[in-house]
């Protein structure tokens, strides 16, 4: 498996420039992080597709700029806003269709817990169902200080929603939440469809792969043993990168392991 690279690695570089840059570093599989509403306009989305196609790269996942607001959008007591936001996320699903992607990453609600777990899962299931109408799987990421930070909640989501449970496993977010990665991988079980990969050590919880001490070979074995074979996507902060060529180096490092 050749690891992919997310355009999020280069934020706040403009999305189209970030896509061009990661593709220029040899990425053949990419995730696009959308950063503003205008980027969902069809003309702009087709521009992104043209960039990816010109490099022979495949876009497999999208990440909305709305992550910080998803609690307000989908998981509040105001049902009309939830219904409106289902329609609004149709813009992301249509963009995914143009780009050929079939995964949309969400963070979900912050740890306000205004809704019960049962009501939360009902709302998430509604979003998943809307995505599947477009052939897009909405995948819940484990993010610290969000509802999905704990293995217990992710396990409940998987058991309750069954075939409608899709997950993004994020290494750095597990570190930040204090959840050992084997525990989170076990909780997500056979429903992991995407991996956000970064390295870490005792001094820094987000480093380029190969710059820390994470045992990616072990994590890969655990994920595959659960019945999954997801795409690994390098997703770090731009502060981790001093030269764009480091993205290619990190990809080669992971490729040798996976």
- Residue 101: which CATH number? 3.20.20.150
Q: What is the pLDDT of residue 119?
A: 96
Q: What is the pLDDT of residue 131?
A: 98
Those residues with Cβ within 8 angstroms of residue 250's Cβ, 6 or more apart along the chain or in another chain: 3, 208, 209, 210, 211, 234
Q: What is the pLDDT of residue 146?
A: 96
Q: Look up residue 258 and give its two tokens.
A: 């996976």
The three state secondary structure string of the chain is CCCEEEHHHHCCCCHHHHHHHHHHCCCCEEEEECCCHHHHCHHHHHHHHHHHHHCCCEEEEEECHHHHHHHHHHCCCCHHHHHHHHHHCHHHHHHHHHHCCCEEEECCCECCCCCCHHHHHHHHHHHHHHHHHCCCEEEEECCCCEHHHCHHHHHHHHHHHHHHCCEEEEHHHHHHHCCCHHHHHHHHHHHEEEEEECECCCCCCCECCCCCCCCHHHHHHHHHHCCCCCEEEECCCHHHCCCCHHHHHHHHHHHHHC
Q: Look up residue 161 and give its two tokens.
A: 């929603």
Q: pLDDT tens per residue, the chain (258 residues)?
A: 689 999 999 999 999 999 999 999 999 999 999 999 999 999 999 999 999 999 999 999 999 999 999 999 999 999 999 999 999 999 999 999 999 999 999 999 987 678 999 999 999 999 999 999 999 999 999 999 999 999 999 999 999 999 999 999 999 999 999 999 999 999 999 999 999 999 999 999 999 999 999 999 999 999 999 999 999 999 999 999 999 999 999 999 999 999
The model scores a pTM over 0.85: yes
What is the CB neighbour count within 10 angstroms for residue 68?
A: 12
Question: Mutual orientation of helices 216-225 and 181-188 as an angle, nearest 10°?
Answer: 20
Q: How many domains does the chain have?
A: 1
In angstroms and rounded to an integer, the radius of gyration of the C-alpha atoms of the chain is 17
Q: What is the pLDDT of residue 235?
A: 98
Residue 190 domain boundaries = 4-257
């Amino acid at each position: 498996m050749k690891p992919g690279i997310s355009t999020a690695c280069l934020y706040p570089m403009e999305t189209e420039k970030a896509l061009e840059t990661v593709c220029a570093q040899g990425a053949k599989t990419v995730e696009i992080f959308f950063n503003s509403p205008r980027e969902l306009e069809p003309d702009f989305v087709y521009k992104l597709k043209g960039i990816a196609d010109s490099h022979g790269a495949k876009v497999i996942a999208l990440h909305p700029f709305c992550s910080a607001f998803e609690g307000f959008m989908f998981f509040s007591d105001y049902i009309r806003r939830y219904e409106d936001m289902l329609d609004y996320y149709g813009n992301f699903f249509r963009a995914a269709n143009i780009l050929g992607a079939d995964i949309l990453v969400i963070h979900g609600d912050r740890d306000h817990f205004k809704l019960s777990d049962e009501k939360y899962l009902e709302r998430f299931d509604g979003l998943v169902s809307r995505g599947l109408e477009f052939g897009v799987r909405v995948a819940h990421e484990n993010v610290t200080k969000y509802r999905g930070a704990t293995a217990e909640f992710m396990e409940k989501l998987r058991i309750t929603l069954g075939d409608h449970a899709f997950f993004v496993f994020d290494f750095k977010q597990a570190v930040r939440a204090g959840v050992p990665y084997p525990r989170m991988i076990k909780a997500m079980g056979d429903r992991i469809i995407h991996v956000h990969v970064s390295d870490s050590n005792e001094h820094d919880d987000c480093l380029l792969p190969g710059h820390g001490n994470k045992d990616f070979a072990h994590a890969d074995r655990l994920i595959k043993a659960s019945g999954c074979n997801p795409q690994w996507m390098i997703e770090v902060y731009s502060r981790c990168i001093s030269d764009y060529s480091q993205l290619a180096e990190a990809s080669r490092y992971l490729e040798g392991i996976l």
